Amino acid sequence: MMNEKNTPIIGVDMIYNLSAFITYPIGKNLFFKIGKISYELFEDESFQYIIEPYYDILDAFKDVYIPGIDIDLKQKRYFRVNMVPIFISDRTFPKTRVEANSLLNDKNINYYNPLLWLIDSNYRYTGDKLLVKSEKFYNNMKRIKNSKNIYRHILYVLQNLGNRNTLNLKGLLINELNRKDILKVYLYQYSIVEETYYKKIAKSAGRHKKEVPLLLMKEIVSLYENKIITKSEAMERLSISSESTFYRRLKEYRENDK
């Protein structure tokens, strides 16, 4: 139902606008644009916020939503006129807060604008995982390179899907029409492969370095350095199969023998 709080302002000159992306993070490297939020200020000092959900991303996730709007209505844009939307007010602070100036100064802001303060803020709202990220954040993001490694390939695809980039996967063009379905598939693959990947890392991290008796190490190093035995022979006697491990053990021995 339209009312004065959700009817867009028209016929008044806009003097300032600001926008950023409502973002859902997974881990430290994956960020998904689930919507865009904009602030517009007009010459008569009226203002409005506009929330534009990206359903091609948002609908791929279970139990992820944008607080304060009814996404089941599937509106292209949701307006909040002359009021701060719940999504913003829950994550920021009122202008009357005692330490408001200090919080603004922390971000080098000299006037109160809750959205401006929230963009790329280190503040974490405990009610959900959603963040507000700038275009600059996405442009400067470290790019994950495609790889034959299945885990890295999935990360590469998910990063591009999360950024809503147009992507060509072996002749299949990913865009707004099919992005949701492709994202669901890769999120499922990610959940499976990630678990296997981290189990492998944990298993590797749990391996104990095989200790070599000091006298044996001293003897073999002496033989190797005096060219009585070759590197391969030294590695064999130390039960080391990797050259990098051999040189690392050799370095450790020399440092401890000083």
pLDDT in tens, 91-116: 999 999 999 999 999 899 999 999 99
Determine how many CB atoms are found less than 10 A away from the CB of residue 116: 16
Any domain includes 179: yes
Higher pLDDT, 240 or 8: 8
What does pTM read for this prediction? Answer: 0.75
pLDDT at residue 226, rounded to an integer = 79
Least confident segment among 99-113, 124-138, 237-251: 237-251
Cβ pair 48, 79 in contact under 8 A: yes
Least confident segment among 117-126, 231-240, 249-258: 249-258
Closest CA to 125 of 18, 19, 20, 25: 25
The secondary structure of residue 243, as a DSSP letter, is H
User: How many domains does the chain contain in total?
Assistant: 3
Q: Which range of residues forms the domain containing residue 46?
A: 14-139
Looking at the fold, whether 134 and 156 belong to one and the same domain comes out as: no
Give the best-scoring range by mean pLDDT among 180-184, 212-216, 246-250: 180-184
Any domain includes 65: yes
Looking at the fold, whether 121 and 186 belong to one and the same domain comes out as: no
DSSP-based three-state secondary structure for 86: helix
Looking at the fold, whether 133 and 157 belong to one and the same domain comes out as: no
Q: Give the mean model confidence (pLDDT) for residues 3-27.
A: 93
pLDDT band at 59 (very low <50, low <70, confident <90, very high): very high
